[in-house]
Amino acid sequence: MNFLFLQKIPAMTRDEELKRRWELLTGKLSERFADGDILELDAIIYLVGVQELQQLNRKFKKDEKVNLMHIAICRLLEPFGYYEFDFYDDDGWPHYTLKEELPSLKAGEQSVLMKEALVQYFLEKKYID
């Protein structure tokens, strides 16, 4: 795995920093979007999909919600070298190309990768520090 924002920090400190940033991120997003109830990982991925689509004031169908999560995952893993943005279709939906197969990861490892990607995304957006 390519740990972009924590690669020069020793492992124990890196884990602690990820935990701190993740708690900050979930706290801020939960306060804003869930009346203080802590948002789960999937809900935050969904929010990224909505943000990336930039069609904020509309209701999405079930299949569109799945597509939003796919957009988010592609966008989140793009800096890690797994996906590359390709184009926007006529409806404004972004499309990505798979550049490198994702490694086989256990559920906990997948969760850590997505948390790292989400923290990196929100650091880039200057939503957290």
Count of the separate structural domains present in the chain: 1
Sequence-ordered list of residues with C-beta below 8 angstroms from that of 74, at least 6 positions apart, any chain:
83, 85, 94, 96
Question: Is 29 a domain residue?
Answer: yes
Residue 65 has pLDDT above 80, yes or no: yes
CA 54 centroid distance within chain: 15
CA 21, 25, 27, 28: dihedral to nearest 10 degrees?
Answer: 130
Whether the model clears a pTM of 0.95, i.e. scores above it, the answer is no
Domain assignment present for 107: yes
Q: Does any domain span residue 40? A: yes
Domain assignment present for 22 = yes
Out of 3-7, 87-91, 102-106, give the one with best mean pLDDT.
87-91
**Domain housing 67:** 11-124
4 is a domain residue: no
Q: Does 81 reside within a domain?
A: yes
Position 11 confidence tier, pLDDT thresholds 50, 70, 90: low
**Cα three-residue angle 117-119-122, rounded to 5 degrees:** 110
Q: Are 6 and 21 in contact (CB under 8 A)?
A: no
- Computed from CA positions of residues 38, 2, 125, 83, in that sequence, does the dihedral angle turn out positive or negative? negative
Neighbours of 65 (CB within 10 A): 14
- Confirm whether 42 is domain-assigned: yes
Q: Does residue 6 form part of some domain?
A: no
Average of per-residue pLDDT values in the chain = 89
